[in-house]
Structure 1
Amino acid sequence: MIVSLFPVNAIWVNSYHHVAIWAQDLEALKAFYCTLFGGQANERYHNQAKQFSSYFVRFEGGASLELMHTPILFPADLSLPHPLQGLAHIAFSLGSVEAVDKMTARLKLLKGAEVKHLDGPRWTGDGYYESTFLDPEGNRLELTI
């Protein structure tokens, strides 16, 4: 059980930012969500050094998906801590760089089984400021602006 360590000056999630999905066929998955659900995709982002590509697909109501691909994708093996297929992470918008930094510092204090810090805070190659953690069940969380 997690007891709030910071009852005063709490940092609140402004909104869900996006859900990310690993894709074997990035173009086909983009077409599926754009054609059948009316999403609008950005230009394809590609990081040559990491062999990583992605699209953000945004929907009229404000929801968005990040569709991601890397050549090392393999069928989901649930025994692995982070299978590269299906749900990749859930991102929460905190509203500012300062809020991401503060929440990162707070979560880092929860060492042990409750939370595990993975990376950040940092600016990504496609312009996002983020920090990543695992929740108590091992789900990957991103904190972003």
Structure 2
Amino acid sequence: MHIEHVAIWTNNLAKMKDFYQKYFEVESTELYLNPKTQFQSYFLNFKSGSRLELTTKKFLSGRVADSLGYSHIAISVGEKADVDRFTKRFVKDGYPLLSGPRTTGDGYYEAVIQDPEGNLIELTTD
């Protein structure tokens, strides 16, 4: 078994797609649109085979999850030097660095940044 994909609700589908394509070299599917419900989505395909689904529809709720549910997405970018390089690029481009780069208590070398809508991305080694 494996996780096939993770989906993220988003307010600005195009901006989020552009972000993930720019930084993580994902390939995007064509826009899916359900005319009846106004649901729209893109699947973003990583070279490793994992996928991220970006979704939106009219009248999304203002749901905030501070303690339960989704916490972050961890994306392996290679070696320690790659984590450092990605981190510097995100900071240079104005994205918040929330922690790291550092080696965690459980042995991960990581840095945590935010995407354009505040979702946490953990950049980590292989």
TM-score, length-scaled by structure 1: 0.43
Q: Which of these two proteins has the greater Rg computed from alpha carbons? A: 1
